[in-house]
A and B are shown apart, each in its own frame.
Chain A
Amino acid sequence: MFKAVPLVLVNIQVAQEEISRATAVLTRLRIMHLINLVETPLGKLGYMGELERDLLSRYQQASEEVDRWAQALEIRPQVVDIPPDLDPAKDIYPLEEMLDHLRGQVSPVLQQTQEISEKLTRLQEYQQNLELVEPAGVEPQTLAGLRFAYLAPGWLPSENLLRLEQALEHLHHVLLPLVQEEARVLVLAAGLATDQETLDRALKGAFFEPLSLPPTAAGSLEKVLADLKSQIQTLKTSQQQVDNQRVLLRDRIGPELVRLRNRIDLIRTLLKARVLFGKVDRAYLVSGWIPANLVDQLKEALAQELGDQAEVEVLSPEAIPGAREGVLKIPILFNNPYLLRPFERLTTAYGTPAYGEVEPTAFLAVSFLLMFGLMFGDVGQGAVLFLLGYAIFHRFFRYTDYGVILMECGVASVIFGFLYGSVFGVENLLPALWFSPMHNITYFIKIAILFGVGAISLGLILGFINALRLKSPRLPAAGLLAALVYWIIAGLGVRYLLTGALTWDFWVAVGVTGVTLLMVIIYILQRLWLAPPPAEAAAEGRGIRLLEGIIEVVDGIIRFVANTISFIRIAAFALAHAGLFIAVFSLADTLSRMGGGGLVYWLTIVFGNVVIILLEGLVVSIQIVRLEYYEFMSKFFHGGGEAFKPLQRGAAP
C-alpha cells in the first residue's frame, strides 16, 4: 500500500512466425508495460522497431469502413474473444475479400438510405423556405420565368445589410427584408438581369446565403407546396421500407461485423506495438515491465500458446544497469485497497511517484478524510453527501471514483457530526461525543495545530525515508537539522498547549533542549569543517558552505512553522461551517416572523443547507487539497515517475 507494486523486466524472444500469437497473449493478459527497445542499449546492438505504415494504413481503412457500417446499422461496440492466430501480413487479404463481399450487401442499402435521407432533407428545406417567402408573394414560377429582372432570396448577416446597400448604390436594385432571425435577416434581392453577375458578387462579399428553392417548380405557390408535401410523404414511406431492410441486414451480418471489428482492432494494436519491439533478422525481442507476482501467469500463458517457442528472461530492477542509474524509467503500478484507489487521482494530479519512492495515496486519503470530517462535521449533511456519492457511484459509470470519494467524505462527515453533536446544524438533537466547535474555539485551534504538527512531521519522516530509498548520495543535513529544531519547537509548543502554563519545569525543558541542540549543531559544524568538501562544493570554500547551510536551516524552520500555522484553517473553516448554520437559522427565523410562516422557515432551512453543502463543501475540499499539496506532499514527494500502461486492445502503446 505504501509502495508501488514491485515490477520485473521481462524479455521475451520469439521467432517472426510466432510474434503475432505472442502479442495476442500479451494483449489478452494486459499485464505488460512495453518499453521501446530502440531507446535501450539493445537498440545499439541492432534491434530495430518495425513500423509497417502501408499495412497499418490498409487496416486503418478497413477499420473505418467497418465502423461506418456498424454505425449505420446501429450495431453497438462489443468486445469478443479473438483466437490468437493472427498474422497481419496475411490476414489483410481474406479480410479485404470479406469486406468486398459484405460491401455488396451493405452498400446498396446504405446508399438508398442516404439518398432518401438527403432527398427528404432537401424537400423539407424547400418547403420551409417557400413558407418563409410566402408573405412576400413570391411565386416559384415567377422566379423561374424572369427575363429582364433578377431575384435572389437569401439570408444575410444583419450588420451587412447597410454595407450591401452602400455597395449597390449605383445599380438599380431593391433589397427587401422579409424575416429577421437572431443575427441574420432574410432578404429578397432584386435587380436587372444584365447586372446579375455584379449583384451576385456583391451578395457573396456580404456573406449572403442564397435560399434554396425547388429548381423546376411550376404553378402557384399553394400547388408547389402541396406537391412537396405529397413527395415528402412518399419518401417517408420509402424510408420506412429501407429501414426494415436495414434491420434484416443487421440481423444477418451483425455478428460477423462485430467479429471483424474486434479482429481488426487487435491486429492494429499488434502492428502499433511492433514499433516498440526489437527485431533482428527473423527474431523478435519484446521487452517490458510486469508485476513480479504475475511472471508465472505470463510464462504459463505463453507456454500454453507457443509451447517452447518463446524464450522468457526475467530481470529484477536491481540487476539492470540502466534502471539502477535512473536512465531506464520503471513505471509505477499503484497498489491500494479499493476504497483508497479513487484518491490515486489526487496523487497523480500532483505528480507520478518515482519507482521506489513512498507511494503517498494512503496517507493522502486518510488525512483528506480526517480533515474533511473536522471541517465539515455534520450527521445530516454527511448523510446527504453519502447519498449523493452513492447516486453518482450507481448511475454514472465514468464518475465512479468521484462517487466513492463523496461517499467516504460523507461517512467522515457523519462520524465527526456525532462527535460534534450536529444534525443539519441543530446542536441539541444529539449529545456531542467530543465537543461543539462554536463553544470551544480555542480548543479547536489547538487541535488544528496539533494536526498540523503531525502532518508536517509525517511529511518530514517520509522525506527522509525517500532519501534512503532512492539512495540519495547523502541525506539532506540542513533538512535534518531544521527538522530537529522544528520538532523541539513543536514539542515545547504542544506541551504549552496541553498544560497552558509556563511553570519552572517548562523553562528547564527549554534550557535542556537548547543546550542539546547547541551541542548537535557544534558537532555537525565540526564534522562539516573537518570533512573534505565534495568536489562540486570545493570551489565555494567552507565559509560560503557554512553560510548557505545556516540560511537553509533557518529557512527550513520558518517554513515548517509557517506550514504548521497554516493548518489553523481547519478550525477556521469548521467554525465558518457552524457560523453559516447560525446565519441560515437566523434568516429562516426572521423571514418566518415577517409573515412567511412555517413553510418559509423550512424552505429557508432546506435552501440554506443546500447552499452550505455545495458552497462550503467545495471550499473545504479546495482548502484540504491545498494543505495536502503545499504543506504535506511538498515535504517528501519527488515525482517524475511514469504511470504503468499495459498493452491492451485498442490502446496505442
Chain B
Amino acid sequence: MIFKIWRYAYGSAKVMALKSFLLSAADYHYLLRARNLEDLVGYLHTTAYGATLSGWNWRRADAEAELSRRLYGSLAQAFLKVRRGLKKRESLFLGHLGHRLEAENLKVVLRVLHLGLDPLQAEPRLLPLGTLSPLNFSDLLRAGTIPRLVDALAPSIWASPLNRGLPRFVEENNLFPLEMSLDLFVYDSLWEGLKKLSRADRRIAAGLLGTLADITNINWAGRFRDLYGFPAEETYQYLIEAGSFKNAAARRDLAFAPNTGEMILRLPRQAYIDLLQGAQDRVEVETRLRQFWMTTLENHLVRPPFQIGLSLTYLFFKELEIDNLITLFAGMALNLPPERVAPWLWRGAAGEVYV
C-alpha cells in the first residue's frame, strides 16, 4: 500500500484537482436552459472552458470545426497533464490510450485524401494533439493520395494497420477497411499496453477497458448486422477479442445472432442480459449501454485513488464531457428544445450528468 501511495500520490492529487474542474450537474442544468448560443458560450466562460473558448467566434463559417478543435485540444491537454503526473510505466500505458485520438486524426486525414479536399481547409478539422502524437498531421494532409500517406507513415506504428487495409481500399475504393483496421489496432495496442502495468493496476484497467470493449462489440455487432447488412462471418472478424468477448464462442454467438432480441439472450454475462432485457431495437440497446458505461465509470471513481483507474476514469469522463458540449452546441444550432437534447447527453446514475 505504501508503495502504491508513493507511486500515485502526486498523480492522483493532480487528477483529483483536474476532476474538480469537470462540469457539475448544476452546470449542465444552466447549459440546457441557455436561450441562445451567446448565452451558452457566456455560461461556459464561467467554467473551466473559459480559456478554451476565449476568442472563439460562433458567427464565423468554420465555427463548428474550430469549436471541436478547441474542445478536443483541451482533452489532449488533459491527457498530457495526467501523463506528466504519473510514473513512467503508467504514463506509457496512457500513451496507448492516446492512440485513440491519433487514430481519429488519421481518419480525418484519410477522409480528406479520399475526397480530395483542400488540406488548408481541412486542417481545422484535425484535433490539436500537441506532444501527445509524434505525427505531423498537417504534413500528412498533403500526402496527395492514400497509398502515399501509408508510405509516409512507414516508420510509425500505424504502418501495419494501414497496410492491412490498403489492398481492400484499393479494390473497393471505400475507407471502411482502413478505418476498421485502425480501430482494431487501437484496441490491440491498448491490450498490449496493459502488459506493462503492475498486476493490481492491470486488473483494474482491464476491467474498465474490458467493459468498454464489451460495449463497443455489442454496438458494432448491432450496427454491422442491422445497418450495413454484413454476413455474420464478416462481422465476426471485426469483433474485439477482449473483455467478456475474449472467448471465441462468445464472439461467435454475438456475430451470428440473427436479431437484437436473440443477441441479448446470447450475451456472455447475466448483467448485460438483465440490462438489455426488453430492448426493442439497436438504438435502445445503445442508449442503455451508454447509461451502463456512465455507471461503470462512476463506480470506478469512488474507489481508493492510488491506482491507474482514477486517471483512466477522469480521462473517459473528460471525453464524454466534450461529447456532451458538442451535443449541446449542435442542439442549439438546430434550435432543439432542452428536453430533446438532454437524452443525448451522457448522464450519471442519479439522473444527473455526473457528480
B157 in the interface (beta carbon within 8 A): no
Residue of B nearest to A206 (CB): B237
Q: Interface stretch among B13-21, B71-79, B162-170, B305-313?
A: B162-170
Choice from A163, A183, A199 contacting B236 with Cβ under 8 Å: A163
Q: Is the CB of A201 within 8 A of B181?
A: no
B231 in the interface (beta carbon within 8 A): yes
Residue of A nearest to B165 (CB): A207
Q: Is the CB of B233 within 8 A of A205?
A: yes
Query: DSSP class of A's interface residues: helix, strand, loop or mixed?
Result: helix
B160 in the interface (beta carbon within 8 A): yes
* Residues of chain B contacted by A201 (CB below 8 angstroms): 230-231, 233-234
B100 in the interface (beta carbon within 8 A): no
Residue of A nearest to B232 (CB): A167
Interface string of B165-185 (1 = CB under 8 A from A): 101100000000100010000
Identify which of residues 486-518 in chain A touch chain B, using a CB-to-CB cut-off of 8 Å: none
Q: Is the CB of B165 within 8 A of A205?
A: no
Interface string of A152-177 (1 = CB under 8 A from B): 00000100100110111101000000
Q: How far is the CB of B29 from chain A (nearest CB, A)?
A: 40
Choice from B231, B235, B237 contacting A164 with Cβ under 8 Å: B237
**Alpha-carbon separation in the docked complex, A231 to B97 (Å):** 53
Identify which of residues 170-214 in chain A touch chain B, using a CB-to-CB cut-off of 8 Å: 171, 183, 197-199, 201-202, 204-207, 209
Identify which of residues 87-143 in chain B touch chain A, using a CB-to-CB cut-off of 8 Å: none
Q: Is the CB of B237 within 8 A of A163?
A: yes
Q: Is the CB of B237 within 8 A of A202?
A: yes
B252 in the interface (beta carbon within 8 A): yes
**Alpha-carbon separation in the docked complex, A163 to B234 (Å):** 11
Q: Which residue of A160, A205, A206 has the most chain B CB atoms within 10 A of its CB atom?
A: A205
**Alpha-carbon separation in the docked complex, A84 to B252 (Å):** 73
Interface string of B217-260 (1 = CB under 8 A from A): 00000000000001111111110010000001001100100000
Q: Is the CB of B235 within 8 A of A169?
A: no
* Residues of chain B contacted by A206 (CB below 8 angstroms): 237
**Alpha-carbon separation in the docked complex, A168 to B236 (Å):** 10
Identify which of residues 311-367 in chain A touch chain B, using a CB-to-CB cut-off of 8 Å: none
Q: How far is the CB of B192 from chain A (nearest CB, A)?
A: 12
Q: Is the CB of B231 within 8 A of A207?
A: no
Choice from A160, A163, A169, A202 contacting B231 with Cβ under 8 Å: A202
**Alpha-carbon separation in the docked complex, A61 to B237 (Å):** 44
Q: Is the CB of A205 within 8 A of B167?
A: no
Residue of A nearest to B237 (CB): A205
* Residues of chain B contacted by A199 (CB below 8 angstroms): 233
Choice from B235, B241, B251 contacting A205 with Cβ under 8 Å: B235
Contact A167/B168 with A198-B233, A202-B237, A204-B234 known, Cβ cut-off 8 Å? no
* Residues of chain A contacted by B251 (CB below 8 angstroms): 166
Residue of A nearest to B184 (CB): A207
Q: Is the CB of A167 within 8 A of B255?
A: yes
Q: How far is the CB of B269 from chain A (nearest CB, A)?
A: 20
Identify which of residues 105-123 in chain A touch chain B, using a CB-to-CB cut-off of 8 Å: none
Contact A167/B165 with A205-B238, A207-B177, A207-B181 known, Cβ cut-off 8 Å? no
**Alpha-carbon separation in the docked complex, A202 to B232 (Å):** 8
Residue of A nearest to B230 (CB): A201
Residue of A nearest to B241 (CB): A163
Contact A204/B236 with A166-B248, A183-B160 known, Cβ cut-off 8 Å? no
Choice from B164, B233, B252 contacting A202 with Cβ under 8 Å: B233
* Residues of chain B contacted by A160 (CB below 8 angstroms): 237
Interface size band for B: 20 to 34
Q: Is the CB of B252 within 8 A of A166?
A: yes
Q: Is the CB of A202 within 8 A of B181?
A: no
Q: Is the CB of B236 within 8 A of A166?
A: yes
Query: DSSP class of B's interface residues: helix, strand, loop or mixed?
Result: helix
* Residues of chain B contacted by A207 (CB below 8 angstroms): 164-165, 167-168, 177, 181, 237
**Alpha-carbon separation in the docked complex, A202 to B238 (Å):** 10
Q: How far is the CB of A65 from chain B (nearest CB, A)?
A: 16
* Residues of chain A contacted by B234 (CB below 8 angstroms): 167, 201-202, 204-205
Q: How far is the CB of A171 from chain B (nearest CB, A)?
A: 8
Interface string of A415-459 (1 = CB under 8 A from B): 000000000000000000000000000000000000000000000
Q: Is the CB of A204 within 8 A of B252?
A: no
* Residues of chain A contacted by B252 (CB below 8 angstroms): 166-167, 169
* Residues of chain A contacted by B165 (CB below 8 angstroms): 207
Q: Which residue of A167, A201, A206, A209 has the most chain B CB atoms within 10 A of its CB atom?
A: A167
Q: Is the CB of B236 within 8 A of A157?
A: no
Contact A204/B255 with A160-B237, A164-B237, A166-B236 known, Cβ cut-off 8 Å? no
* Residues of chain B contacted by A183 (CB below 8 angstroms): 160
Q: How far is the CB of B20 from chain A (nearest CB, A)?
A: 33
* Residues of chain B contacted by A163 (CB below 8 angstroms): 236-237, 241
Q: Which residue of A171, A201, A204, A207 has the most chain B CB atoms within 10 A of its CB atom?
A: A207
**Alpha-carbon separation in the docked complex, A169 to B256 (Å):** 12
**Alpha-carbon separation in the docked complex, A197 to B230 (Å):** 11
Residue of B nearest to A209 (CB): B167
Residue of B nearest to A154 (CB): B167
Contact A198/B168 with A163-B236, A167-B255 known, Cβ cut-off 8 Å? no
Interface string of A30-72 (1 = CB under 8 A from B): 0000000000000000000000000000000000000000000
**Alpha-carbon separation in the docked complex, A198 to B238 (Å):** 15
**Alpha-carbon separation in the docked complex, A412 to B177 (Å):** 59
* Residues of chain A contacted by B233 (CB below 8 angstroms): 167-168, 171, 198-199, 201-202, 205
**Alpha-carbon separation in the docked complex, A209 to B251 (Å):** 24
* Residues of chain A contacted by B241 (CB below 8 angstroms): 163
Q: How far is the CB of B223 from chain A (nearest CB, A)?
A: 14
Identify which of residues 195-242 in chain A touch chain B, using a CB-to-CB cut-off of 8 Å: 197-199, 201-202, 204-207, 209
**Alpha-carbon separation in the docked complex, A204 to B255 (Å):** 16
Q: How far is the CB of A386 from chain B (nearest CB, A)?
A: 34
Q: Is the CB of A167 within 8 A of B236?
A: yes
Residue of B nearest to A165 (CB): B248
* Residues of chain B contacted by A168 (CB below 8 angstroms): 233
* Residues of chain B contacted by A167 (CB below 8 angstroms): 232-234, 236-237, 252, 255
**Alpha-carbon separation in the docked complex, A202 to B164 (Å):** 15
Q: Is the CB of B168 within 8 A of A204?
A: yes
* Residues of chain A contacted by B164 (CB below 8 angstroms): 157, 207
**Alpha-carbon separation in the docked complex, A183 to B161 (Å):** 12
Interface string of B254-290 (1 = CB under 8 A from A): 0100000000000000000000000000000000000
Contact A205/B160 with A166-B248, A166-B252, A167-B255 known, Cβ cut-off 8 Å? no
Q: How far is the CB of A574 from chain B (nearest CB, A)?
A: 35
**Alpha-carbon separation in the docked complex, A168 to B167 (Å):** 22
Residue of A nearest to B224 (CB): A205
Contact A198/B248 with A160-B237, A166-B236 known, Cβ cut-off 8 Å? no
**Alpha-carbon separation in the docked complex, A169 to B251 (Å):** 13
* Residues of chain A contacted by B167 (CB below 8 angstroms): 207, 209
Q: How far is the CB of A204 from chain B (nearest CB, A)?
A: 6
Q: How far is the CB of A135 from chain B (nearest CB, A)?
A: 23
Q: How far is the CB of B239 from chain A (nearest CB, A)?
A: 9
**Alpha-carbon separation in the docked complex, A106 to B247 (Å):** 61
Q: How far is the CB of B300 from chain A (nearest CB, A)?
A: 30
**Alpha-carbon separation in the docked complex, A207 to B177 (Å):** 8
Residue of B nearest to A163 (CB): B237
Residue of B nearest to A155 (CB): B167
Identify which of residues 282-302 in chain A touch chain B, using a CB-to-CB cut-off of 8 Å: none
Q: How far is the CB of A68 from chain B (nearest CB, A)?
A: 13
Identify which of residues 238-269 in chain A touch chain B, using a CB-to-CB cut-off of 8 Å: none
A167-B252, A167-B255, A205-B234 known, 7 other contacts, Cβ within 8 Å: A163-B236, A163-B237, A168-B233, A198-B233, A201-B231, A202-B236, A204-B177
6 A–B contacts, CB within 8 A, in A order? A157-B164, A163-B237, A166-B251, A167-B237, A204-B234, A207-B164
> Chain B: residues with CB nearer than 8 A to chain A?
160, 164-165, 167-168, 177, 181, 230-238, 241, 248, 251-252, 255
What are the 9 A-B residue pairs with the smallest beta carbon separation, nearest first? A205-B237, A202-B233, A205-B234, A167-B236, A201-B234, A209-B167, A166-B248, A201-B231, A207-B164
